[in-house]
A = this chain, B = another copy of it.
């Protein structure tokens, strides 16, 4: 019996995935959590074989959850679920010891198969992803990323400077660098590109 913890913020989707998994006789859903923080809390009391988690969640993301489990030497195998447009996360996910990366665009049987194969010790990456992950390394520095994130919310240079405790000129330099690295035409374009690659 494979014991699974399902971590996903949208309750409807979470419940549906739990239902899907429990249709398989060899899988048992041990629990559900609405974000990484809640998952960590539950993991103090239960010991699932597999932690199946989404990436984009409030408070603690799926990547941070994977990182915590790796650092804590937890034995549960982590399977990451996400959308194709956020495929850029795959590299970080793998470095945090995730065992599999499944697209939400993939058919549902694929998820079940993946969980079973992971239990056999295999690492599974959706083939569509394996390709796109090989090129494309995140070129942004931490400061550039932060500035870009604020810019994509519509903050002005001055507001970003205040938020980051930097001078206005420095922020403009960072954004200029980011725009040039991403081959964008302006900050908005740059933010769009970075978001799409999963670098924001």
Contacts and interface: CB of A to CB of B under 8 A. Distances in A.
Nearest to A10: B104
Given A20-B20, A23-B19, A108-B19, A186 B12 contact: no
A154 B10 CA distance: 29
B23 A102 contact: no
Interface string A141-174: 0000000000111111000000000000000000
Contacts of A105: 9-12
Interface stretch (A41-49, A87-95, A117-125, A188-196): A188-196
A11 to B, nearest CB: 5
A14 B184 contact: no
Contacts of A23: 19, 23
Most buried by B among A109, A156, A188, A190: A188
**How often does this chain occur in the complex, in copies?**
2
A111 interface: yes
A104 B13 contact: yes
A14 B110 CA distance: 13
A72 interface: no
A12 B185 contact: no
A126 to B, nearest CB: 11
A7 interface: no
Contacts of A156: 185-186
B15 A190 contact: no
Given A153-B189, A188-B153, A20 B10 contact: no
Contacts of A13: 13, 16-17, 104
Contacts of A81: 12
Nearest to A111: B12
A190 B11 contact: no
Given A11-B106, A152-B188, A154-B188, 7 more contacts: A10-B105, A13-B104, A16-B20, A151-B188, A154-B189, A154-B190, A188-B188
